[in-house]
Amino acid sequence: MIWLFNHQVVFLFWSRSGRLHQYLFLAIMAGRILCVMVTLMTRWWQRPRYVRLVNDFQRLAHKKPQVMKLWKRGVISKVVSIILSELFQMLINFVIIYESLTLQMSFTIVAISSITAQVNVIVSQYYFGLLNIHGHYILINEELRILLDEIRSLETERRKGVFTIKCCELADQLDAIAEIQFQLQALVKQITSIFGLQIITMSTSYYMSSVALVYFCFIELRSAEVTRMLPFWGRVLIVLEFVCYFTDIHITVHITYAIHEVHATLVKLLSNHTVFGHGLDERLEVTLKNFQIQLACNPMKIVVLGMYELKKSRAIATVSSVVSSSMVLVQYNLKNF
pLDDT digits (tens, 9 = 90+) for 122-180: 778 888 889 999 999 999 999 999 888 888 777 666 666 667 778 888 888 889 999 99
Which of 259, 286, 250, 288 lies closest to 138, judged by CA? 259
279 within 8 A of 153, measured Cβ to Cβ: no
With 0-12 / 13-18 / 19 or more C-beta atoms within 10 angstroms meaning exposed / middle / buried, residue 106 is middle
**Percentage of the chain lying above the pLDDT 90 cut:** 10
Question: What pLDDT sits at residue 67?
Answer: 83
With 0-12 / 13-18 / 19 or more C-beta atoms within 10 angstroms meaning exposed / middle / buried, residue 278 is exposed
Report the distance separating Cα 15 and Cα 264, nearest Å. Answer: 54
267 within 8 A of 148, measured Cβ to Cβ: no
Angle at the Cα of 115 from the Cα atoms of 21 and 119, rounded to 5 degrees: 100
Amino acid, res. 134: H
- What would the pLDDT profile of 56-111 be if each residue is shown by its tens digit? 888 888 888 888 888 888 888 888 888 888 788 777 777 766 666 667 666 766 77
Neighbours of 43 (CB within 10 A): 14
Question: What pLDDT sits at residue 22?
Answer: 59
Lowest mean pLDDT segment, chosen from 71-75, 199-203, 260-264: 199-203
Neighbours of 333 (CB within 10 A): 18
Is the pLDDT at 223 greater than 80, yes or no?
no
What phi and psi, each to the nearest 5 degrees, are found at residue 29?
-65, -40
Report the distance separating Cα 165 and Cα 263, nearest Å. Answer: 30
53 within 8 A of 230, measured Cβ to Cβ: no
DSSP H or E segment with residue 303? strand 303-304
